[in-house]
Amino acid sequence: MIKVVIIGSGNVAYQMAKHCLANNQIELVAIAARNTSVLSSDFPKSNCVNIENIPLNADLYIIAIADNAIIDVSEVLKNASGLVVHTSGSTPMHTLKNNTKHGVLYPLQTLSKNKPIDFTTVPFCIEANTQQETDFLLNFAALFSKKVYKIDSEQRKKLHLSAVFVCNFVNHLYAIGADLCEQNKVPFEVLLPLITETAEKVQHISPKKAQTGPALRNDTNTINTHLEQLQSEMYKDIYQLITKSIQNGTEL
Residue of 181, 173, 191, 175 lying closest to 242 (CA atoms) = 173
Contacts to its own copies from residues 108-167, by CB under 8 A = 108-110, 115, 121-123, 125, 147, 149, 151, 154-155, 157-159, 161-167
Q: Exposed/middle/buried for 184, CB within 10 Å: 0-12, 13-18, 19+?
A: exposed
41-49, 76-84, 95-103, 176-184 -> range binding its own copies (CB under 8 A): 176-184
Out of 53, 94, 200, 224, name the contact with its own copies by CB under 8 A: 200
The Cα 240–Cα 243 span in angstroms is 5
Closer to its own copies by Cβ: residue 61 or 124? 124
Out of 53, 139, 212, 224, name the contact with its own copies by CB under 8 A: 212
Helix or strand or coil: residue 227?
A: helix
H helix or E strand, kind and range, residue 73: helix 70-76
Q: Does 220 bind its own copies (CB under 8 A)?
A: no
The Cα 218–Cα 51 span in angstroms is 58
Closer to its own copies by Cβ: residue 53 or 121? 121
Percentages (nearest 5) of helix, strand, coil residues in the chain: 50, 15, 35
Q: Does 250 bind its own copies (CB under 8 A)?
A: no
Shortest distance, position 111 Cβ to its own copies, whole Å: 9
Contact 124, 145 (CB under 8 A): yes
Closer to its own copies by Cβ: residue 76 or 170? 170
Closer to its own copies by Cβ: residue 97 or 150? 150
Q: Which amino acid is at 131?
A: Q
Give the contact letters, 26-65, x = binds to its own copies (CB under 8 A), - = no.
Answer: ----------------------------------------
Helix or strand or coil: residue 156?
A: helix
Contacts to its own copies from residues 223-242, by CB under 8 A = 225-226, 229-230, 232, 234, 237-239, 241-242
